[in-house]
């Protein structure tokens, strides 16, 4: 396995995904065409009002010098209005198509980004057309008055420039909002900033160059520099942020100096597994039934991917009960998996004592040293007045632990010797 699979992934042929994408794009395009036709009925009134706002002269000085260019600009404006009107439907289609392949945090980020961009796009267009450009055109027209020239402006050209600047602002806002949301969601940090930079700057500049008129090289150069600079300024902190930490995860050094992040998955296994305290430095997450819930499986993969967990310790889950593809996905993320088998440990005694569970937690050796694990086990044995330790490689079927006894799985010779020195009986048991 060389990629990441979610629990909801199936073996749907690639052609089926293309067919679904084609259907969704087709339905969106048809809606845009219909809405463009509807907007074309009243587009003349809209353009007349817009040009009155853009006109920098006290007396009208905006003219149509090329009827064919004006006709093209008229339909372009109607189609843009059609696109913005159809945007909610298009966003729904995009989300439904992408949803099965997104992690929970990515889904939330996509929803927030689409809603935010819908609002920001409309606000940007209103600001550019009715605030910024009227001021800019008026400022430029003042130079004509100073030189005694009479200004005559092409309506089609003014609208094309207005659309280009508004589109550029929308693209810049889209890129800035992606960086902001990804940083706030802890999806972006210094370790993957190159990946984010390549895609954000790449898509933004490609779409920017696509719409800017070729006869305005100065505008193209200026907007490229400004757009890239603004994205870098907004993402300054996120692009340089350290690897995020959550759920109590801490960096743990092993004996060779390598860094590990150990996550304890406190899964109740439908109420069959008790909750115990993890070791210092371990993060902890609580679930109901990871092996049965696809939502919990996806959430756990999301946490491992976002926060760089290198090792998962399940409380009571049987590793073999988890889907093979799910375990492969965790290994693909560089995360090893083990279990304390607490759901099995709770069945070997009837007095409700959790000393066996606590010993299982204390006997976790990697990435801790053997000596530290031995000290933890000895301390628990002394604190609980244990007189007999029953041990073996696996828990024997039908084992019944009595008060004053405890089970320890696969102790080392060094630990056995330390327990012997305490005067505690040791009994080996196996099937």
Beta strand 259-260 with 262-267: parallel, antiparallel or unpaired? Answer: unpaired
The residues, ordered by sequence, that sit 6+ positions from 32 with a Cβ below 8 Å of its Cβ are 79, 82, 83, 86
User: Rounded to an integer, what distance in angstroms lies between the CA atom of residue 300 and that of residue 285?
Assistant: 9
Q: What pLDDT shows up at residue 1?
A: 47
pLDDT, tens only, 311-349: 999 998 888 888 888 888 888 888 999 999 888 888 888
Q: Which of 154, 135, 127, 157 is nearest to 54 (CA)?
A: 135
For residue 415, is pLDDT > 70? yes
**More confident call, 143 vs 48:** 48
For residue 145, is pLDDT > 80? no
User: Rounded to an integer, what distance in angstroms lies between the CA atom of residue 152 and that of residue 71?
Assistant: 19
User: Rounded to an integer, what distance in angstroms lies between the CA atom of residue 115 and that of residue 198?
Assistant: 24
**Structure tokens that stand for 382 in this block:** 């002394």
Q: Which of 51, 121, 110 is nearest to 84 (CA)?
A: 121
**Structure tokens that stand for 248 in this block:** 């109590």
Q: What does the mean pLDDT of the chain come to? A: 85
Q: Which of 300, 298, 294 is nearest to 102 (CA)?
A: 298
pLDDT, tens only, 76-114: 888 888 988 998 999 999 999 988 888 888 888 889 999
For residue 395, is pLDDT > 60? yes
The residues, ordered by sequence, that sit 6+ positions from 15 with a Cβ below 8 Å of its Cβ are none
Q: Which of 404, 397, 386 is nearest to 431 (CA)?
A: 397
**Structure tokens that stand for 264 in this block:** 């304890």
The three-point CA angle 112-115-121 to 5° equals 125
Q: Which domains, ranges and CATH numbers included, belong to the chain? A: 14-239 (no CATH), 245-346 (3.40.50), 349-431 (no CATH)
pLDDT, tens only, 165-177: 888 888 888 899 9
128 secondary structure, DSSP code: I
Q: What pLDDT shows up at residue 53?
A: 81
| DSSP reduced 3-state for 283 | strand
- Phi/psi for 400 (5° steps) reads -130, 110
The three-point CA angle 79-83-85 to 5° equals 115
The residues, ordered by sequence, that sit 6+ positions from 3 with a Cβ below 8 Å of its Cβ are 332
Q: What is the dihedral of CA 199, 110, 127, 206, to 10 degrees?
A: 20
The three-point CA angle 14-18-21 to 5° equals 140
């Amino acid at each position: 396995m060389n990629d990441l699979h979610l629990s909801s992934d199936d073996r749907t042929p690639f052609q089926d995904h293309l067919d679904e994408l084609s259907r969704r794009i087709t339905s969106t395009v048809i809606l845009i065409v219909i809405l463009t036709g509807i907007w074309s009925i009243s587009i003349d009134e809209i353009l007349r009002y817009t040009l009155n706002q853009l006109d920098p002269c006290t007396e009208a000085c905006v003219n149509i010098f090329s009827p064919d260019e004006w006709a093209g600009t008229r339909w372009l404006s109607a189609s843009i209005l059609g696109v913005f009107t159809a945007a909610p439907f298009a966003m729904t289609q995009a989300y439904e198509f992408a949803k099965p392949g997104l992690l929970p945090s990515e889904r939330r980020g996509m929803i927030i980004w689409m809603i935010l961009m819908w609002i920001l796009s409309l606000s940007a267009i209103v600001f550019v057309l009715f605030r910024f450009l009227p001021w800019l055109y008026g400022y430029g027209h003042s130079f004509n008055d100073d030189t005694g020239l009479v200004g005559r402006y092409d309506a089609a050209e003014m609208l094309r420039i207005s659309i280009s600047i508004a589109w550029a602002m929308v693209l810049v806002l889209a890129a800035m909002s992606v960086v902001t949301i990804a940083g706030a969601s802890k999806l972006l940090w210094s370790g993957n900033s190159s990946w984010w930079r390549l895609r954000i700057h790449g898509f933004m500049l490609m779409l920017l160059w696509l719409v800017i008129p070729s006869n305005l090289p100065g505008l193209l150069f200026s907007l490229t520099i400004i757009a890239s600079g603004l994205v870098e300024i907004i993402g300054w902190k996120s692009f340089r942020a350290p690897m995020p930490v959550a759920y109590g995860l801490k960096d743990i050094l092993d004996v060779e100096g390598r860094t590990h992040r150990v996550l304890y998955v406190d899964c109740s296994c439908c109420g069959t597994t008790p909750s115990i305290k993890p070791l210092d430095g371990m993060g902890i997450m609580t679930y109901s039934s990871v092996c049965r819930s696809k939502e919990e499986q996806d959430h756990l993969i999301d946490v491992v991917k976002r926060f760089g967990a290198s090792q998962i310790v399940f409380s009571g889950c049987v590793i073999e009960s988890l889907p093979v593809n799910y375990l492969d996905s965790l290994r693909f993320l560089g995360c090893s998996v083990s279990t304390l088998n607490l759901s099995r440990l709770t069945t070997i005694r009837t007095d409700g004592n959790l000393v066996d569970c606590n010993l299982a937690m204390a006997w976790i050796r990697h990435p801790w040293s053997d000596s530290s694990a031995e000290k933890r086990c000895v301390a628990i044995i002394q604190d609980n007045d244990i007189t007999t330790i029953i041990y073996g490689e696996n828990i024997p079927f039908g084992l019944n632990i009595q008060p004053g006894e405890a089970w320890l799985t696969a102790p080392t010779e060094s630990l056995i010797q330390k327990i012997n020195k305490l005067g505690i009986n040791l009994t080996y048991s196996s099937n």
